[in-house]
Amino acid sequence: MAEVEQEPAISGRKRWLALGVLALGLSMVVLDGTIVAVSLPVIIDDLQLNFTQAQWITSIYAVVLAALLITAGRLGDRLGRRLLFVVGVLVFIGGSLLSAAATSAWPLILGRMVQGLGGACVLPGTLSTVNALFRGRDRVIAFAVWGSVISGVAAIGPLVGGWLTTSYTWPWIFLVNVPLGIVVLIGLVLFVPETKTGVTAPGLDIDGFLLSAAGFALLVFALIEGQTYGWWKPLREFPFAGFTWSRTAWVSPIPVLLLLGVLALFAFLRWEIHRNLVQRSALMDPKLFAIPGFRWGNITAFAVALGEFGLLFVLPLFMVNVLGLTTLRAGVVLAAMALGAFLAAGLAEGLVRKIGAVRVVQLGLAFEAVGVGIAALVLTPHMSEWWLALVLVCYGIGLGMASAQLTGTVLADIPPAQSGQASATQSTVRQVGSAFGTAVVGALLSGALGHSLPHRLNAVRDLSAQNATTIATATRESAGGTITVVRQHDGATAVVDALCRGFTDATRTTLLAAAIFLLLGLAAATRIPVSAAIPADES
């Protein structure tokens, strides 16, 4: 059965007011993906978290978003996107209150999961509603606004987090969502019309939801927990549902979980092909990926998110623990990305007219990769944070150029009737990229610390091998927090210097990896057809 988009009875000025409300709701969800980053060192110290728990607090939000976005997008198509948006904002506010009240790791992780559930109801509705409200040139502008909000708010999140954590306490990074959510709810009632598809295929794709959720969860869990249970050789027992994976087993559970995750996602794709063939309700239409702009644009979006969120996980830990900055000063440095994105907004429109949106995306990715690469090369334990800020301006310019135009290129050729599926798929790709960014770059950082810290500490005179091992392990497991503790002891200058140099070495490795991810995104962007930036519907 075909799906037909119901035309909302709205035009003129009210459409742009609706876009403002949608952008504010989007800001709330995107902000929470990055506001935690700069506050993480303070949260680690206050709640006594280990490295793995810190990764989960950052990535579980994106994992839940990724697992539920496609399902939420389809529910919005059926039940009404504004209705699901309202439910999502209410759930998001509840998750924010749970997170703010947390006094240990797991209640905070639970709160972040609830936030992810609410965000999954909000995010796909924003883009599919924009796709339903706007046509032709107006749609191009609306897509650019949507992409600019993602890049700009993501970049400014660390500054907001640093200010709230320094001026108040870290729970305020979650409490700020309460008044923001109330404003969004009022705007939804006043300005945003209900949109949905008029006819939908029968049935609910429960199997598809379970397969996609299991696949994403298994992959991210394995990437984050690999350092705990061992990437190949078991390091400890792995208890699960009454079964215990022995430490003496011939292989760690991690590669098995990775394989199961890949198989689950492969089964999900095959199942979705089947559901579409028999004309039953499906979470995703794999045929959308036959559209070159959609296929290569999503690969590019994945790489951008992978590099960006990996960067946001690592840099605050380096600045607070190695450079000794406060969370506010670290947030100011990271806000250089927002400055760059703001500058890009002034340049992008003229560049789009001259060279086209796809070329602007490619140019932006090149700026991003160069910015991260330079950051890796100039990194030292005693560098001025303002040099790092200058480099991040370059990165931010690229981020603003690429993200603002990428949304339009991905969705330009998608019919309005499939906007729910397509926008949810694109949002899922971004969130999977952000979750994988934290997981992959976090795993690289942990592995690099395991190599660089012992190497640096072994060169310290009068420090026994046992003490060096103990300090190196504590520093790695605390994500660098031990450096601050050791710095407070007299006579530990040589040890602190060794720890700072070791952490800098590891950070440099992860930044180079992030640059490689961005270069892969640039390679994918070269395959996006130039015509993908021109909307299919010019009516």
d(CA 439, CA 461): 35
pLDDT at 201 (0 to 100): 59
pLDDT class for 260, splitting at 50, 70, 90? very high
Residue 202 pLDDT grade (very low, low, confident, very high; cuts 50, 70, 90): low
Contact 334, 396 (CB under 8 A): no
Lowest mean pLDDT among 223-237, 326-340, 413-427: 413-427
Of residues 430 and 274, more confidence is placed in: 274
The DSSP line for 113-138 is HHHHHHHHHHHHHHHHHHHHH--HHH
User: Residue range 419-448: average pLDDT?
Assistant: 77
Give the mean pLDDT of 73-79.
Answer: 77
pLDDT at 435 over 60: yes
Q: CB of 502 within 8 A of CB of 452? A: yes
Beta-bridge partner residues of 392: none
Residue 535 confidence (pLDDT): 44
Query: What pairs with residue 197 in β-bridges?
Result: 5
**What number is the average pLDDT over the span 422-427?**
72
Q: Give the least confident one: 242-251, 430-439, 460-469.
A: 430-439
pLDDT band at 1, cuts 50/70/90?
very low
Do the Cβ atoms of 54 and 314 come closer than 8 Å?
no
pLDDT higher than 70, residue 364:
yes
Q: Which amino acid is at 102?
A: A
Tens of pLDDT, residues 324-348:
888 888 888 888 887 887 788 677 7
Dump pLDDT digits (tens) for 370-380.
Answer: 999 999 998 99
Residue-level pLDDT at 417:
64
- Give the phi and the psi of residue 78 in degrees, each rounded to 5: -85, -50
CA distance 361 to 524: 11
Q: What is the DSSP letter of 243?
A: E
pLDDT at 65 over 80: no
Report the SS3 class of residue 356.
coil
What does the pLDDT read at residue 537?
Answer: 44
pLDDT at 528: 85
The percent of residues in the chain predicted with pLDDT above 70, rounded, is: 89
Minimum mean pLDDT among 47-51, 184-188, 235-239, 415-419: which range? 415-419
Predicted TM-score (pTM) of this structure: 0.76
Residue 343, amino acid: L
State which amino acid sits at residue 305.
Answer: A
What's the residue count for the chain? 539
Listing DSSP states for 466-485 in one string gives: HHHHHHHHHHHHTTTHHHHH
pLDDT band of 96, cuts 50, 70, 90: very high
Residue 136 has a pLDDT of: 67
Enumerate the β-bridge partners of residue 243. 240
Question: Which of 22-36, 123-137, 505-519 has the least mean pLDDT?
Answer: 123-137
Residue linked to tokens 């499906």? 282
**Six-digit token pair at 535?**
């909307």
Q: What is the pLDDT of residue 107?
A: 93
pLDDT tens, residue by residue, 97-147: 999 999 998 999 999 999 989 988 887 777 778 777 777 677 767 776 766
Beta bridge partners, 228, equal: none
- Under a CB-based contact definition with an 8 Å cutoff, are residues 240 and 221 in contact? no
Return mean pLDDT, the chain.
Answer: 83
Integer distance in angstroms from the first to the last C-alpha of the chain? Answer: 25
Decide if pLDDT at 532 tops 70.
no
| pLDDT tens profile 294-323 | 889 888 888 888 887 778 788 888 998 899
Assign 198 a pLDDT band (cuts: 50, 70, 90). Answer: low
- Compute the average pLDDT of residues 485-489: 82
**Mean pLDDT value of segment 172-191:** 92
Whether the predicted pLDDT of 411 surpasses 80: no
Over residues 370-395, mean pLDDT: 90
